[in-house]
């Protein structure tokens, strides 16, 4: 048997089991080696009952003192055992008569399970147990017992048996060592085979604490290779783009210059620099793949507009996609205003559009009479045919995620070649993490805000002081300012979101009868939302009660006060985004984070981060440390690649080394690079094809 053989060559694996294993992504014997345990149990030592600690999982033996069934609502079988150092109760809710009969007084049993505090002494509920014959001791193991990821219908014992066989096969044909020797040596990493064996069958003296944290050198060895696989895959996408054709947008210089000089403001130096980077990309005959990172309010939209203008001035089409209708609508308005003098009216495309309007848009997009299209992800659904699409702009890309981004790239292809791509995000992420997540992109950073912006002053206040805050809203609005009141986000439930917003709206209209109060929430029809937002923008509404639908991009400079309810439930980056809705005008702005006391330590720390800084990069770094990368990169919606061993927060520090290794390997052998990608990402081997 060899490691690359099919799983059915293993003893005990028939077609039915093979199908179940396929669901875990296991096809070949070697795949089993990379199915790593989630945790370990220690059955290497017998623990004295007198020395048990609640919450641990232990192996004990003892003599049965008493076995009885009692009724506590349901039937319980209680078995009291003792090993001389103390007594332990085994409790069973499901048991057969035979089982009951096994526990004769005086019988010796060994059992393994979680120790819990019971009424009188420690208990184990439904432990694994064995009746011991006379003079037979409990069987201890030589190595820690691995616990594998559960799959329906495949028991742990079976997985242990299969990995045993795979480990044996590994002795004959070890998995190819794909990392360059100098790197494993310099980093002091164990060999691949060594690492695999250790992780599947750790010796009794292994540092379990370190292993559970994923920081053992053997885990780091595998995490390194896994990060490398993802990185290589993204880099090969990047390299592919350099071989692909795109329309070189060499014209449009005069139009762009005129546009910039006609703007009502002067571009910041950071905007100028990023625009130069984009223009130089667009003039090349290969697709641009560029990410703009810039804090909330740094002025990304106008940069995107300039890129679009260049494409349009070359007689081609540009499309801009936003994650929500409100944001897309706002872009549509901005672009309409900016481009009015040039006689360019953007076409509109969204999911909720009426059929007739949609048909008109589709027609204009297909025959090229619409040079610019603004919309939501409806832009890239079936039935949308572009005439000559040269540029795709994706705003707030963190809402879309890696897979969607790559899939979009494939969709935009036209007979003229690949469109240029510009993705923008207001969620800046730390450099090492960006290396892992955006390795297929070139990055530009707008690290400067337009002049005159004052940092938003932020305070955290318990919601027991809601009355004071309502007063504060009254006086701000009385002096001509406007305010947002953002309602609690209720996970995955638009209905509850809406009810909470409705309740706050009632409370506020009653408490503030003199104010014009509006309500915008996610369940409204786009036209209604639009009406509410517009009324707020025009100052007809003074206080806007809203759910987090206003999170991204909405621009109302006269709004200078924001109240966020249940702030303790939201992500830091999200709060930072919300807060970015104020501080856009000349007046000093304030943000009040209302929380429900008492706050835990982490929650306190999180709110303190927002109080102490207005810098999106610092917020993002702290968010990452406190919550993990999923929130930051939009994994919730789209699924970041599932890492098997690596953890982007814990292991991001490996990225600089990963990058060096990747360059070495790609220079030396494309084949090795491909083999690493295949090993970790499967035959699909790239993000776009999953």
Interface residues toward ligand ADP, by CB under 6 A: 265-268, 271, 294, 296-302, 426, 450, 553, 555
Q: Which does 296 bind (CB under 5 to 8 A by kind): Mg ion, ligand ADP, none?
A: ligand ADP
Of the pair 211, 549, the CB lying nearest Mg ion is at 549
DSSP annotation of 203 reads B
Q: How far is the CB of 450 from ligand ADP (least distance, A)?
A: 3
Q: How far is the CB of 240 from Mg ion (least distance, A)?
A: 29
Q: In what order do the strands lie in the sheet with 517-520?
A: 457-462, 590-595, 559-564, 482-486, 543-546, 517-520
Q: Which does 267 bind (CB under 5 to 8 A by kind): ligand ADP, Mg ion, none?
A: ligand ADP
* 299 forms part of the interface with Mg ion (CB under 5 A): no
Site for Mg ion (CB under 5 A): how many residues? 1
Of the pair 201, 290, the CB lying nearest ligand ADP is at 290
Are 275 and 446 in contact by the 8 Å Cβ rule? The answer is: no
Q: Which does 297 bind (CB under 5 to 8 A by kind): ligand ADP, Mg ion, none?
A: ligand ADP
Helix (H) or strand (E) holding 481: none
Q: How far is the CB of 452 from ligand ADP (least distance, A)?
A: 8
475, with CB counted inside 10 A (0-12, 13-18, 19+), is exposed
Of the pair 481, 577, the CB lying nearest ligand ADP is at 577
Q: How far is the CB of 287 from ligand ADP (least distance, A)?
A: 23
Of the pair 358, 579, the CB lying nearest ligand ADP is at 579
Of the pair 383, 451, the CB lying nearest ligand ADP is at 451
Q: How far is the CB of 442 from Mg ion (least distance, A)?
A: 20
Taking the C-alpha atoms of residue 519 and residue 529, their distance in angstroms, rounded to an integer, is 9
Length of the chain, in residues: 690
Q: What would the two tokens of residue 280 be? A: 């130089």
* 616 forms part of the interface with Mg ion (CB under 5 A): no
* 430 forms part of the interface with Mg ion (CB under 5 A): no
Of the pair 248, 260, the CB lying nearest ligand ADP is at 260
Q: Report the b/e string of 326-343 with b at 16+ CB within 10 A.
A: bbbbbbbbbbeebbeeee
Look at residue 402 and give its three-state secondary structure: helix
Q: Report the b/e string of 37-55 with b at 16+ CB within 10 A.
A: beebbbbbeebebeebeee
Q: How far is the CB of 564 from ligand ADP (least distance, A)?
A: 18
Q: How far is the CB of 12 from Mg ion (least distance, A)?
A: 57
Are 41 and 201 in contact by the 8 Å Cβ rule? The answer is: no
Question: Which residues share a beta bridge with 422?
Answer: 290, 393
Q: Which does 555 bind (CB under 5 to 8 A by kind): ligand ADP, Mg ion, none?
A: ligand ADP
Q: Which does 3 bind (CB under 5 to 8 A by kind): Mg ion, ligand ADP, none?
A: none
Are 275 and 298 in contact by the 8 Å Cβ rule? The answer is: no
* 37 forms part of the interface with Mg ion (CB under 5 A): no
Q: Which does 416 bind (CB under 5 to 8 A by kind): Mg ion, ligand ADP, none?
A: none
Q: How far is the CB of 374 from Mg ion (least distance, A)?
A: 13
C-beta nearest to Mg ion: residue: 553
123, with CB counted inside 10 A (0-12, 13-18, 19+), is buried
Q: How far is the CB of 237 from Mg ion (least distance, A)?
A: 26
Q: How far is the CB of 268 from ligand ADP (least distance, A)?
A: 5
431 preceded by a cis bond (ω within 30 of 0)? no
Q: Which does 299 bind (CB under 5 to 8 A by kind): Mg ion, ligand ADP, none?
A: ligand ADP
Q: How far is CA 359 from CA 40, 516, 518, in A?
A: 59, 38, 33
Return the sign of the alpha-carbon dihedral for residues 30, 31, 35, 36.
positive
The interface mask with Mg ion, positions 552-591, x = CB under 5 A, is: -x--------------------------------------
Of the pair 89, 577, the CB lying nearest ligand ADP is at 577
Look at residue 594 and give its three-state secondary structure: strand
Of the pair 184, 301, the CB lying nearest ligand ADP is at 301
Helix (H) or strand (E) holding 429: none
Q: Which does 298 bind (CB under 5 to 8 A by kind): ligand ADP, Mg ion, none?
A: ligand ADP
Of the pair 111, 320, the CB lying nearest Mg ion is at 320
Q: Report the b/e string of 540-565 with b at 16+ CB within 10 A.
A: ebbbbbbbbbbbbbbebebbbbbbbb
Are 215 and 55 in contact by the 8 Å Cβ rule? The answer is: no
The interface mask with Mg ion, positions 497-536, x = CB under 5 A, is: ----------------------------------------
Binding site for Mg ion (CB under 5 A): 553
């Amino acid at each position: 048997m060899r490691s690359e053989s099919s799983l059915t060559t293993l003893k005990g694996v028939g077609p039915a089991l093979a199908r179940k294993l396929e669901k875990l992504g296991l096809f070949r014997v070697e795949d089993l080696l990379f199915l790593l345990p989630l945790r370990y149990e220690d059955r290497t030592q017998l623990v004295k009952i007198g020395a048990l600690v609640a919450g641990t999982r232990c192996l004990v033996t003892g003599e049965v003192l008493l076995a009885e069934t009692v009724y506590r609502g349901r039937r319980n079988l209680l078995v009291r055992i003792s090993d001389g150092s103390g007594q332990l109760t085994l409790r069973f809710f499901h048991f057969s008569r035979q089982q009951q009969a096994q526990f004769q007084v005086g019988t010796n049993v060994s059992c393994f399970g979680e120790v819990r505090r019971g009424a009188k002494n420690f208990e184990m509920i439904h432990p694994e147990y064995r009746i011991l014959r006379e003079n037979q001791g409990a069987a201890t193991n030589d190595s820690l017992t691995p616990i594998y990821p559960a799959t329906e219908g495949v028991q742990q014992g079976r997985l242990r048996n299969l990995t045993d066989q795979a480990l044996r096969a590994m002795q004959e044909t070890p998995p190819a060592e794909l990392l360059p020797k100098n790197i494993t040596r310099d980093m002091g990493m164990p060999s691949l085979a060594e690492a695999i064996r250790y992780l599947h069958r750790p010796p009794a003296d292994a540092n379990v604490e370190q292993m559970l944290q994923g920081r053992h050198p053997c885990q780091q060895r595998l995490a390194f290779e896994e990060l490398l696989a993802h990185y290589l895959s993204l880099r090969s996408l990047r390299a592919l783009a350099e071989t692909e054709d795109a329309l070189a947008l060499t014209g449009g210089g005069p139009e762009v210059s005129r546009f910039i000089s006609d703007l009502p403001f002067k571009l910041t130096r950071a905007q100028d620099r990023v625009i130069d980077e984009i223009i130089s990309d667009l003039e090349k005959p290969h697709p641009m793949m560029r990410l703009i990172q810039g804090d909330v309010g740094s002025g990304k939209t106008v940069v995107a507009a300039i890129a679009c203008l260049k494409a349009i001035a070359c007689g081609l089409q540009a499309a801009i996609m936003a994650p929500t209708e409100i944001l897309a609508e706002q872009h549509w308005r901005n672009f309409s205003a900016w481009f009015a003098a040039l006689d360019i009216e953007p076409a509109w495309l969204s999911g909720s559009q009426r059929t007739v309007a949609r048909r008109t848009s589709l027609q204009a997009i297909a025959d090229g009479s619409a040079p610019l299209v603004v919309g939501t992800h409806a832009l890239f659904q079936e039935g949308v045919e572009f005439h000559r699409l040269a540029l795709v702009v994706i705003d707030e890309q963190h809402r879309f995620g890696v897979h969607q981004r790559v899939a979009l790239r494939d969709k935009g292809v036209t007979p003229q070649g690949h469109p240029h791509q510009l993705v923008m995000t207001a969620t800046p992420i730390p450099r090492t993490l960006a290396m892992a997540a955006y390795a297929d992109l070139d990055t530009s950073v707008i690290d400067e805000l337009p002049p005159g912006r004052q940092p938003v002053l932020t305070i955290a206040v318990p919601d027991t002081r809601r009355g004071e805050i309502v007063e504060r809203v009254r006086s701000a609005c009385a002096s001509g300012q406007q305010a947002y009141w953002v309602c609690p986000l209720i996970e995955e439930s638009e209905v509850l979101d809406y009810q909470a917003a409705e309740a706050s709206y009632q409370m506020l209209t009653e408490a503030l009868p003199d104010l014009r109060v509006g309500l915008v929430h996610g369940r409204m029809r786009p036209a209604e939302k639009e009406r509410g937002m517009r009324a707020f923008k025009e100052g007809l509404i003074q206080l806007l009660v809203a759910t987090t639908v206003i999170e991204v991009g909405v621009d109302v400079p006269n709004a200078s006060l924001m109240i966020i309810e249940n702030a303790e439930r939201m992500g830091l980056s999200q709060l930072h985004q919300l807060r970015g809705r104020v501080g856009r005008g000349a007046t000093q702005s304030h943000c009040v984070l209302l929380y429900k006391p008492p706050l835990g330590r982490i929650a306190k720390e999180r709110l303190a981060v927002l109080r102490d800084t207005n810098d999106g990069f610092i917020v993002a770094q702290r968010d990452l440390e406190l919550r993990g990368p999923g929130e930051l990169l939009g994994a919730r919606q789209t699924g970041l690649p599932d890492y098997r061993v690596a953890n982007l927060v814990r292991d991001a520090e490996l990225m600089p080394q990963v990058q060096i290794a990747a360059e070495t390997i790609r220079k030396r052998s494309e084949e090795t690079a491909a083999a690493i990608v295949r090993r970790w990402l499967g035959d699909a081997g790239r993000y776009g094809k999953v």
